[in-house]
Structure formats: structure tokens, C-alpha cells
Amino acid sequence: MEENKNLYSAVQPTNSLTIGNYLGAVKNFVALQNDYNCFYAIANMHAITVRQNPAELRRRTLELAALYIACGIDPEKCVLYVQSHVPAHAELCWILNTFTYVGEMERMTQFKDKSRKHADNINMGLMDYPVLMAADILLYQTAYVPVGKDQTQHVEITRDIAQRFNNAYSPTFTVPECVYVKAGAKICDLLDPSKKMSKSAENVNGSIFLSDDKDTVIRKFKRAVTDSEAVIKYDPETKPGVSNLLSIYSVFTDKSVAEAEADFAGKGYGDFKLAVGEAVADKLAPIQREQARLLADKAYLDGVLKSGAERAAYTANKTLNKVYKKIGFYQG
């Protein structure tokens, strides 16, 4: 029997991706497409659990598709599609709701966090988010889900739901496993290095977005928090700001942290911050140019997403039809 190498991941088209998202997710997606059957979704259904501007959501959906391709994701090698273009996601989610307990959803870390951030809009979609995520994964008989060490909770609930269904009706879903992606450097907020760099940070000056032009990148790095010691060395405990900048410089120049330290021996923080900013901006420039070229060819992007949705639906509908048969839905 052929090994199941299906892999699934999704990113919401909300806000621009940061360099942390690029290093922790997108760069790994590019590598994974050579070894797995990859399904990469633009998760616009997940995005609307928080109120979105409709025009912006449409624009960001296309921008994310173009960005994926600009970063090296090949739509011939993998399935790149928009989540809402495959209705099976919502259909399977409803069925999986009947195999999920309210208490489980209330305990989910993300529900608690988002409820605090959006206290004026604690909607059912916010609570049901992990069940839709389970449907996303299970539709494609996914064997592997790439995650960071802090992202396993959603995969665990997906495994629980899959096993519940399989035990009730006989094996139907592949029970997925986590693939712990190469962590690389942990990229922290430039203004508060105790926090991970986030695309939804309240202060945008702490995050470097893939869409930031060179002047913006350098301006943000110039404002980055360091310390009063004026010594450039890697010590996350006592020098978190400087260490964060060294990590960023290291991954964007393909140098070790030790080599990065040597580059700045005897130099001041001003020169250091400028060099980090230039290294990042120089790496982002070709991605930005390619994204702009792709966005200018909307017909091409629409074609990629249409083809991706058709390929995704082919696999998803096979799973959904199997589920309908198992639970007793009349199909004629």
C-alpha cells in the first residue's frame, strides 16, 4: 500500500505576514512541497470569526496567493486554493460538531485569547474555529500537519474527533500527526523582545512585514529595543533585544550567530541596526517584486486558485461522500 504523504496547512488572509511567519511557516512550506502531497489553503472562512472589511478581505486573499507563489510555492507541485471555494469544508464541519463537546471548545487556548481581545464579538464561529480546522485537515485524509511546538492543541483535538468518528462508524479519517517544522530562529517583537513577532500586534513598529519597503524596514530596525551596554553579543537572558537582532541578521545572511557577532565586534548599535535592516530589506525585495508582478496578472492568479479549488474539491468530496454514507445521509 502506498504511503500516505498528504500534508495540510492554512494561513488566514488577515494583515500582512511578518518575517517571523515567513521563516516559521512559508519558507518551510516551500521545502515541504518537494517531499509531501501538500494542500495549502487560504483560510478566509476562519478569518471572518473576527469582523473583516469585505473589500480588504478579497484583496488580502489575492495578495496572499501571490505572496505564496513569490516565496517559491509551486501551484503545479501542490494544491493552492481558497478555503471558501470548497464547500465541503463547511459541510464536514457541521457533522464534526456532533462529535465535539462544548467543554472541549471552551478550554481551547485560542478561544480564551480571542475572547479577551474581541470581548464585543464572542461569536459561535470563534468557539467553533477548531472544529472547522479539524474539517480542513480531515477532508484531505491528511497524514501530516506542520506545526510549531506551541501549536499542537488544534491537531490534538482533530485527532480526538477523528478517532471518535472512526470508533463510531469504522475507519473513515486518517488520524493526522504533527510535523515539527524546522524552528530556525525565534523572531521576537522589535519593541518587546519578550513577545513573538506577530502580524496582529497592536504596535506595527514592532513587526517587520513582508510588504514593508526598504525605508520602512530600516526605520523600524533603527527603533528596535536594545540596552545600555553597547556590546553586541548573543545572550537572550540578559540582552534579549540585541540577541533578537543577531538572530534575524543570522537567518537573513545565512551566517551563524557566532559569525554575526564577529561581524559587529567593536561596532556600535547604530551601525548594527542599520546592517540588520539592510540585510532583511535586500532579501525581501525580490519577493516583493515578484508578488507585484503576479498581482498585475489577476487572470493568472484566478486560474491558479480555480484549478487549486477543483483539485482540492476532488479529494474533499470523496471524503465527504464517504462520511455521508457512514452516518446515513440519503444520497439517492
Q: Please confirm, yes or no, whether 114 is among the known catalytic residues.
A: yes
> H/E/C letters for each residue in 163-229?
HHHHHHHCCCCCCCEEEECCCCCCCECCCCCCCECCCCCCCHHHCCECCCCHHHHHHHHHCCCCCCC
Q: Among candidates 74, 51, 68, which has minimal Cα distance to 17? A: 68
Known catalytic residue: 196?
Answer: yes
The residue ranges of DSSP E strands in the chain, in sequence order, are 6-11, 37-42, 79-82, 144-147, 177-180
The helix (H) or strand (E) run that includes residue 2 is: none
Annotated active-site residue 273? The verdict is no
The count of C-alpha atoms lying within 13 angstroms of the C-alpha of 300, restricted to the half-sphere facing its C-beta, is: 12
Distance spanning both ends of the chain, measured CA to CA:
32
Closest of 101, 88, 167, 87 to residue 131, by C-alpha: 101
Catalytic residue among 117, 149, 196, 222: 196
State the cell numbers at 121.
Answer: 464579538
Single out the catalytic residue among 199, 233, 283, 326: 199
Integer Cα distance of 237 and 296 in angstroms: 46
Q: Which residues contact 35 (CB under 8 A, 6 or more apart)?
A: 5
Residue whose C-alpha cell reads 548573543 in the numeric block: 234
Catalytic member of 27, 114, 239, 273 = 114
Which residues are identified as catalytic? 114, 196, 199
